[in-house]
Amino acid sequence: MTVGTEPRKRRPIGKMVAYGVLTAGCYGLLFTNADLVMQYFTRGSWYAALPIATVFVFSIVHGAFANYVWSVLGIEAVKRGEVRPRPEKVKRVYRRRRPRPQPRLTV
Amino acid sequence: MNEAAQEAIRFIDLNLLTVLFLFVVGFIGGLVSGFIGSGGAFVLTPGMMSLGVPGTVAVASNMCHKFPKALVGAYKRYKYGQVDIKLGLVMAASAAVGVQAGIRIQQVILEKWGEAGSNLYVSLAFVVVLVVVGTYVFRDALKISRTGGQEKVSSLARRLQGINLPPMIHFKTADLRISFWFTLPVGFATGMLAATIAVGGFIGVPGMIYVIGASSLVASATELVIAFVMGFGGSVNWAIHGMIDIRLTLLILAGSLLGVQLGAIGTTIVKEHLIKIVMGTIMLIVALSRGLAIPKYLKELELLQMNDATIALLTKLSFATMCLALAVGAVMILGSMWAARRESRALEVETPEEEVYEALREDYRKA
């Protein structure tokens, strides 16, 4: 099958934009309050949960955004076996002429 | 409040150059980690230190970005059916013991020979392990490449899998059954190397391939589970001491979460033995980099005479070579992904089914 006959997969542009805005919001919030954040996040002891929880949240939000970025750019995983071997047999068929009936004279 | 940590963390002010450096190195490191399972973060600690970040804060912030990156990479590769969670957890448990042993050895060396002795030990460990393992991995990858690209289970792994020493464990995704006792030394060595040179995967991935018998796809994906477990434990420890600079961590993470997913996608596009080629190449260049740093420590221990200008030059060369290792790995991954994609597209376009049917119809018409 040629590329043109395959139904085009819809690109998740909306999801990418939504997660992009969310990611930018998270980074913006943290960096605009960097002094306060650093004050609490480096207190140690039970405050250790703050940086750990933060990287978990960022990995989910930014991770989803990154996933949609690659999907929108058309860079996606190939399933094993999805790539077909070189179609040499088909090529041979393409060049072969069909045998034609030869006129024979019976006396 | 941890006053000392606060002082140390306030040491660095972020500027555009720092932000860009962390993002780019994070991206390239993530790409390599997503592809070979580890080895992407070794440039970050010396890189951050060269920006003025104190050593402990650099190590803590780097580690805190590694475990969420490994989590995202492992999740992505799990969806591709490449992660053996049970193997990862078994290996991580023994690796945790290895980390403790590695830390203990470091402490003993530090007490006996000081910081220069400790640095020399780390560099020697880097050079010896990476040259031996890296050469073996690289040669194996070239052999596979020459013989058609099909991986075979190593003879050592086949022999070990044949020994019935309870408890025997069946690893479903890796598709193998082996005694727990044979996974133990591999996990232990992974942890020990992680505590020594901070990149346990340079032993963990080849160990899973050549000793346990997993494929390079499964081994590199499962290494991300080990990296997550170990990174999480280490990060909690650093966070309790208030050593993590969350701004640095998140800037690296911004690049690495993009990179790790691209690397994971790459494993499904390129040929499997390329994982070994990239890993072997990076290991050998990193070994060269650490080799260049050895004269400095030998001089500090008064075991070698060399002028300061040469030492300074070698130190700079060492760091540049380490960056080169990461860059070469990234170029190899992106280059082969690009080539595989072009080949795949060319195949699809070349398949002339419609044209074949059209030619046949033409023949019928003529007949």
Which residues of chain A make contact with B253, given a CB cutoff of 8 A?
55, 58-59, 62
Is any Cβ of chain B less than 8 angstroms from the Cβ of A40?
Answer: no
Instruction: Give the least confident one: B48-57, B247-256, B322-331.
Output: B48-57
B176's enclosing H/E stretch is: strand B176-179
- Pairing type for strands B168-171 and B176-179 reads antiparallel
B81 phi-psi bin (left φ>0, alpha ψ -120 to 50, beta other): left
Q: What local confidence, expressed as pLDDT, does residue A95 receive?
A: 56
Q: Is B171 helix (H, G, I), strand (E, B) or coil?
A: strand
Q: Cβ(B272)–Cβ(B300) under 8 Å?
A: no
The number of residues in chain A equals: 107
Task: Name the residue among B2, B75, B353 with its Cβ closest to that of A44.
Answer: B2
Q: Which of B48, B172, B46 is CA-nearest to residue B119?
A: B46
pLDDT confidence of residue A97: 63
How many residue contacts between A and B have a Cβ separation below 8 Å?
Answer: 146
pLDDT greater at residue A79 or residue B184: B184
Q: Is B46 in CB contact (< 8 Å) with chain A?
A: no
Burial-class residue B217 by CB neighbours within 10 Å (0-12, 13-18, 19+). buried
Q: Which of B207, B158, B172 is nearest to B187 (CA)?
A: B207
Position B124 in a domain: yes
- Does any domain span residue B148? yes
What pLDDT, on a 0 to 100 scale, did the predictor assign at position A59? Answer: 94
B142 at interface of A, judged by CB pairs closer than 8 A: no
pLDDT greater at residue B43 or residue B249: B249
> What Rg do the C-alpha atoms of chain A give, in angstroms?
29
pLDDT grade for B264, boundaries at 50, 70 and 90: very high
Q: Does the structure show a pLDDT above 70 at B255?
A: yes
Q: Which of B261, B271, B272, B336 to mutate to test the interface with A (most CBs of A within 10 A)?
A: B261
Look at residue B205 and tell me whether its pLDDT is greater than 70: yes
Model confidence at B22: pLDDT above 80: yes
pLDDT score at A80: 58
What sign results for the dihedral spanned by CA atoms A18, A21, A22, A23?
positive
Residues of A within 8 A of B75 (CB-CB) are 63
Q: What percent of chain B has pLDDT over 70?
A: 92
Does A102 contact chain B (CB < 8 Å)? no
Q: How far apart are CA B302 and CA A38, in angstroms?
A: 42
pLDDT at A83: 41
Backbone angles phi, psi at B178, to 5 degrees: -145, 155
Structural domain including B57 reads: 3-357
Interface test with A, best of B237, B246, B333, B353 (most A CBs within 10 A): B246
Lowest mean pLDDT among A29-33, B124-128, B152-156, B274-278: B124-128
In chain A, which among 45-84 make CB contacts under 8 A with chain B? 45, 47-52, 54-56, 58-59, 62-63, 66-67, 69-70, 75-80, 83-84
If pLDDT is split at 50, 70 and 90, which confidence band does A1 have? very low
- Please write the tens of the pLDDT for every residue from B113-152: 887 788 788 878 878 888 899 899 989 988 888 887 778 8
Residue B74's Cβ-count burial label (10 Å; 0-12, 13-18, 19+) is buried
Backbone angles phi, psi at B171, to 5 degrees: -105, 110
Count of residues for chain B?
367
Query: For residue B355, what pLDDT is reported?
Result: 64
Spatial separation of the C-alpha atoms in residues B222 and B209, rounded to whole Å = 11
Element (H, E) at B170: strand B168-171
A32 lies within 8 A of chain B by CB = no
Contact B249 A51 (CB under 8 A): yes
Inter-chain contact A3–B349, Cβ cutoff 8 Å? yes
* Predicted TM-score of the model (pTM): 0.82
Banded pLDDT at A84 (limits 50, 70, 90)? very low
**Residue B249 structure tokens:** 């961590």
A94 CB within 8 Å of a chain B CB: yes
Q: Is residue B362 part of a domain?
A: no
By the CB < 8 Å criterion, does B50 face chain A?
no
Among B18, B77, B10, B79, residue whose Cα is nearest residue B47: B18
- A1, B349: Cβ pair inside 8 Å? no
ipTM of the complex: 0.81
Judge whether B69 lies within some domain: yes
Based on the structure, what is the number of domains in chain B?
1
For chain A, say whether B241 makes contact (Cβ under 8 Å): yes
Q: Is residue B366 part of a domain?
A: no
Token pair listed for B177: 């059954």
Q: Is A98 on the interface with B (CB under 8 A)?
A: yes
**Mean pLDDT, all residues of chain B:** 86
Q: Look at residue B81 and tell me if it is in a domain.
A: yes
pLDDT category, B208, cuts 50, 70, 90?
very high
Whether the pLDDT of residue A5 is over 60: the answer is: no
Burial A31-60 (b: 16+ CB within 10 A, else e): eeeeeebbeebbbbeebbebbbebbeebbe
